[in-house]
Amino acid sequence: MVSLNKVMIIGNVGVEPEMRFTPGGHPVTTFSVATNRRYDAGDGEKKEETEWFSVVAWNKLAEQCNQFVAKGRLVYVEGRLRTRSWDGPDGQKRYKTEVIASTVSSLDRAPASSGDSATVEPGGDISPDDLPF
């Protein structure tokens, strides 16, 4: 028995990516990506809705994203969804859903650098014994 957990987004990077390191020394790069959806609000009125994604890249992919991903760029991101939960100060559960990237590519025609696409190496999207933040 098997399952599939796949997310694919194309959107604009909202912030400069940030690379940090876990206590165990694994690089983690995070950045946000905005997708926009236009829809017809019943009465023929056009509306636009922005959806923000938190993207997380680990290990080698983290280092590569830190090179070519930049605020304002159009990117393709493929990965899986992961929802983390923790207890808030009030004892209530909080949730954050993120995209754990396996592929990140620039879709801009003039890349900032030569490398404009990167794919995770096997196991590269996990940091098993070692949490980022």
Nearest distance in Å: CB 20, its own copies: 20
Among 46, 86, 109, 122, binds DNA (CB under 7 A): 109
Q: Any idea what DSSP says for residue 60?
A: H
Amino acid at 18: E
The count of C-alpha atoms lying within 13 angstroms of the C-alpha of 15, restricted to the half-sphere facing its C-beta, is: 11
Is residue 121 a contact partner of residue 62, using CB atoms and an 8 Å limit?
no
State in angstroms the smallest separation of the CB of 52 from its own copies: 7
> The tokens 């023929």 sit on which residue?
44
- From CA 75, how far away is CA 99, in angstroms rounded? 14
- Taking the least distance from each CB to its own copies, the nearer of 11 and 27 is 11
Structure tokens at 113: 């650098």
The answer to whether residue 97 forms part of the interface with its own copies (CB under 8 A) is: yes
Q: Does residue number 87 form part of the binding site for its own copies (CB under 8 A)?
A: no
What is the phi/psi pair of residue 73, to 5°? -70, 150
Residues 48/38, Cβ–Cβ less than 8 Å: yes
Both tokens assigned to 9: 């987004």
Question: Applying CB under 8 A, does 39 fall inside the site for its own copies?
Answer: yes
Please give the residues from 49 up to 78 whose contact with DNA meets the rule CB under 7 A. 50, 52, 71-72
Contact residues for DNA (CB under 7 A)?
A: 1, 11-15, 32, 34, 36, 48, 50, 52, 71-72, 109, 111
Contact residues for its own copies (CB under 8 A)?
A: 1-12, 34-37, 39-42, 47, 51-53, 74, 76, 80-83, 88-90, 92, 94-97, 105-109, 111, 116-117, 119, 121-123, 126, 128-129
